[in-house]
Amino acid sequence: MTAYEALRANPEFAALRTVSTRLGLDPLQVQGPGGNTSIKSGGIMWVKASGTWLADAEAQDIFVPVDYNGLTQAIVANDESADDVGPFTHASENPSGLRASIEATVHASSPAKVVLHTHCVATIAAAIRKDAPAFLAEKLAGLSFAFIPYTKPGSGLARAIRAHAPAGTEILVLGNHGLVVCGETVAEADSLLREVSARLTPTTKADPADASPALKDRLSGTGWMPVPHRPTQRIALDERLLKVADGRTLYPDHLVFLGPGVTIAMPSETVSQAVARAAQSLFPSKLVIVPGHGVAMPETASRSELALASAFGDVLARVDPNASVTRLSRDQEAELLDWDAETYRKSLNKEQSTQRHVT
Ligand SMILES: [Zn+2]
């Protein structure tokens, strides 16, 4: 029996595929190809492949076999090769030939049999708070959890987890990123995930709203459209949410799919000038907020970009507008996309001085 045949005979794997599909179909947990799950079975860690969607976990083979002991040793040894999970993949046992997610390093950092990682919007809303450690201590009282300050996904994040979470910690809240839960069974991990998500979901949320009819008219012929998600539209109509939105990126997948932060239309600009400014920037932004009217994105948006534009509204609806938030620094934004940090900083400074000149 091959390792893959043995895995398929394990009822826990069937349970993981079911839970993974459910999480993948829940936009409040997973957006686009984000999030990943794993199971350790027969000395091998099977983890979601990079670029695949959790929603496809039952319909397709999306799990890749990884030598997690070898990967863990490389992480502990500060070996940069751990950032490329490729060398730690059991190629002969890999039926799909896919590459493991870079977040395999997070999964390897827990000895638990089952690890679920999602970009739960309620968790992100808590994990971007400046006071996240104290806030979480209150909300997650009685649970085994640790807050991990933001670190770029990869071996560095795995080392940060080792530094901040005692071995055996069941819940990790990743600063400006998301949620990780660990359990000996799929049911155990799933129930923890539901518990944390429920505890971090605020009792009151910002109400959804519609873009103004005028916005659609003004976008006509620009190639841009109102974001088809009412919680996201709300941001343009709520001064306090606008303040949270206005600034650098809040979490990695926003940057990866929508560009850095958001572009906010200036009073001196027409809507078409604002979307042109966003699109033509050296580091383009795919979310343009027109205060008082609505939020726009390109009509050519992919499924992933649409999912992340919706997530932005879902996260902000759950942010306490009175809480201060932490944003990714410019260097953190640059390192995520392998941008040259100096070019990025210069382009931002140039854009900011242009804006000051216009206003
Ligand atoms: Zn993640």
> What confidence score (pLDDT) does residue 81 get?
79
Catalogue the E-assigned strands of the chain: 36-41, 44-48, 63-66, 114-118, 145-148, 171-174, 178-183, 224-226, 263-264, 288-290, 294-298
Which whole number is the average pLDDT over 210-226?
A: 96
Total structural domains within the chain: 2
Cβ contacts of 202 within 8 Å, gap of 6 or more: 122, 125, 318, 320
Q: How far is the CA of 78 from the centre of ligand 1 (A)?
A: 21
Q: Domain ends where: 200, 222, 244?
A: 200
The tokens describing 143, both together, are 């649970």
**High-pLDDT (> 70) share of the chain, %:** 95
Q: Domain ends where: 149, 175, 200?
A: 200
Q: Domain ends where: 139, 174, 200?
A: 200
CATH code where residue 56 lies: 3.40.225.10
Q: How far is the CA of 180 from the centre of ligand 1 (A)?
A: 9
Q: How far is the CA of 31 from the centre of ligand 1 (A)?
A: 10
pLDDT category of residue 357 using cuts at 50, 70 and 90:
very low
Q: How far is the CA of 210 from the centre of ligand 1 (A)?
A: 30
pLDDT at 62 over 90: yes
> What confidence score (pLDDT) does residue 349 get?
66
CA dihedral 82, 85, 87, 88 (to 10 degrees): 90
> What confidence score (pLDDT) does residue 24 get?
98
- The whole domain housing 70 covers 3-200
DSSP 8-state assignment for residue 189: H
Q: How far is the CA of 181 from the centre of ligand 1 (A)?
A: 12
Confirm whether 206 is domain-assigned: no
Report the amino acid identity of residue 31.
Answer: Q
Q: How far is the CA of 34 from the centre of ligand 1 (A)?
A: 6
161 and 217, same structural domain? no
Report the amino acid identity of residue 71.
Answer: L
Q: How far is the CA of 160 from the centre of ligand 1 (A)?
A: 14
153 and 14, same structural domain? yes
- Between the alpha carbon of residue 139 and those of residues 120, 128, 178, 188, 244, the distances in Å are 15, 15, 16, 20, 22
Q: How far is the CA of 103 from the centre of ligand 1 (A)?
A: 7
Q: How far is the CA of 175 from the centre of ligand 1 (A)?
A: 11
Q: What is the tens place of the pLDDT at every residue in 299-323? A: 999 999 999 999 999 999 999 988 9
- Between the alpha carbon of residue 287 and those of residues 138, 233, 257, the distances in Å are 34, 11, 10
Give the span between the Cα atoms of 205 and 115, in whole angstroms.
Answer: 29
More confident residue, 197 or 3: 197
181 and 239, same structural domain? no
More confident residue, 175 or 3: 175
Give the span between the Cα atoms of 104 and 38, in whole angstroms.
Answer: 8
Provide the CA 348 distance to its chain's centre, in angstroms. 23
Which whole number is the average pLDDT over 160-180?
A: 97
**High-pLDDT (> 90) share of the chain, %:** 81
Q: How far is the CA of 229 from the centre of ligand 1 (A)?
A: 22
Give the span between the Cα atoms of 254 and 293, in whole angstroms.
Answer: 22
**Nearest CA-CA partner of 211 in 274, 314, 265, 292:** 292
pLDDT at 63 over 60: yes
Choose the weakest-confidence range: 242-251, 285-294, 336-345: 336-345
192 and 222, same structural domain? no
**Nearest CA-CA partner of 183 in 175, 174, 195:** 195
297 and 219, same structural domain? yes
